[in-house]
Structures are given as structure tokens and as C-alpha cells.
Amino acid sequence: MALNSYENRVYQFIAEDTKRYVAKFYRPQRWSQAQIQEEHDFSIELASYKIPVIAPLICNKQSLHIYNDYSFALPPAVGGRQFEVGNLSQVECMGRFIGQIHAVSKRANFIALQH
């Protein structure tokens, strides 16, 4: 099933293990392999701190894959939910996650995304 995406081609599918996954195909020549990998590494690091991000799966020791000159990633398909209007508990929780993301990003050395 095709999913909405501004820049990339994104599809959801059910694999043989009956789990839902997403195949995200990056638009050719938009981002370098190094830029994509840096983003993957950061999201994997955030997930290791239990920050709720959807990191790409690591298959064969890598998160970025190439098929016929197309780069792609395979994260699990995960449903979301909408904030409840006026629920300060949810806003506070989101604020903590944003703070944690900033703390982790201060330790990172982003090089590829700067170019």
C-alpha cells in the first residue's frame, strides 16, 4: 500500500512473518548515502535511549540498502495517535522527549548533514 510522502516513495507491506513494515525509497540524488546513514544512526541512537522514534531496522548489519541504484530503508510500521486538545500531561511528556532529543544531538558529530 502506497503511503503519503512529500519527497520519497513509501510503501507499507505485510511480510511473511505477518508483521507490518514500511519500505522507504529515497529520491535519487536528493541526499548522499552519508547523509542518509547519519540520519539513520541518529534515530537508532535515539531509540536506544527509549525515545519513541521509528528507527530503520538493521538487516545484514546495515540500515541503508541499495537495489538497482535506489537507496531504501525498512522501518517497522507503527501507528500513531493525535494529541488530545488541552491535555497538559501529553504536552509535558512531549517536551521531555524534545529535551532528550536535544541532549543526545549535542553529543553527536553531524558532518554529512551539513553539506
The model carries a pTM of: 0.83
Q: Would the pLDDT of 111 be above 90?
A: no
Domain count, the chain: 1
Average pLDDT over residues 73-89: 89
CATH number for the domain spanning 84: value is 3.30.200.70
Q: Do 64 and 39 touch, CB atoms closer than 8 A?
A: no
Q: Would the pLDDT of 108 be above 80?
A: no
Domain with 33 in it: 2-114
Q: At what angle do helices 88-107 and 33-48 cross, to 10 degrees?
A: 120
**Alpha-carbon gap, residue 79 to 58, rounded angstroms:** 20
Q: Would the pLDDT of 81 be above 60?
A: yes
For position 115, what pLDDT does the model report? Answer: 52
